[in-house]
Amino acid sequence: MEKMEKRNTDLWFTEFQTQNMQLGLKIHNILKNVQTRYQHLLVAETIEYGRLLALDGAIQLTEKDEFCYHEMMAHIPISAHSLPERVLIVGGGDGGILRECLKHDFIKEVTLVDIDQEVINSSREFFPSISCAMDDPRARILTMDALEFIKENQNCFDVVIVDSTDPVDFAAGLFQSPFYGDVFNSLTSKGIVIAQTESPFAEPALLKQAVSEMKTAFKQVAVCLGYMPTYPTGMWSYTVGSKFNDPANIVNRPCNIKTKYYTAEIHKASFVLPPFVREIVEMEGDR
């Protein structure tokens, strides 16, 4: 009798990042796999990147590289502001940006508004090193629609951080000019907003749109770049709108905080854009 070949029992998570591109990670355990009220949520153990959180099939974070994204989203606007005391995080239910914001002693309160309680619960359960600041007395965590929350809270925040998922379904409004107008009104006189605006390689049209939409509300808008290995193409963009300070300048230098990615030098360098990215984000009136 002919001997049968051994079957391949490898288990893989595959993110279809575009119609023509995918990222695969070998996993050895699935810790949570549920449909929440808003989205599909998966927590898995990967070989290369540790624990992974995916929403609707898109990687939100992994233990190995999450600091690259969370540190840029938090420390860029905080360092560019004169002295921020109150921060709003839109989304970010995993708590990574919250953790980074609360490293600064001068921050008095961080309000995190995420629509999906299951994301918050899952991060508390499976990602303690990321959700570790959720019980900080300066943290206020709300489960509700951030679009409505911002409309009801004007002139309240020094920094707004938009940690959104991809711009589909309930998150689509977070990339549009009416939302940025509401963010502008929610900020104090020297306020700054930062939003994740996808990959210039994978989603150039979305990046251009986000910059254009933010410019309808903010006179000072700048794009910075950072590495994010498990996000599409590994190059990630962040768009910053400011009422007062130039976001590329460090006004409030971080003191005595431990980071693994962000530094003052990285801050300044991240705003130096390659020509192809400048071509994406510049509009006719800017040239």
Other CB atoms within 10 Å distance of the CB of residue 137: 7
Task: Considering the candidates 65, 116, 163, 182, report the single residue annotated as catalytic.
Answer: 163
Closest CA to 196 of 225, 233, 159, 169: 225
Distance CA 74, CA 56 (A): 25
Q: Tell me, yes or no, if 163 is annotated catalytic.
A: yes
Neighbouring CB atoms inside 10 A of 223's CB total 25
Give the whole-angstrom CA distance, residue 23 versus residue 123.
23
- DSSP label at residue 6: P
Closest CA to 161 of 220, 216, 82, 81: 81
CA atoms within 13 A on the CB side of 283: 14
Edge to edge, the sheet with strand 21-35 lists: 11-18, 21-35, 40-46, 50-55, 58-62
b/e code 188-198 from CB counts within 10 Å (16+ = b): bebbbbbbbbb
Q: With contact defined as beta carbons under 8 Å apart, do 260 and 276 qualify?
A: no
Residues with a catalytic annotation lie at 163
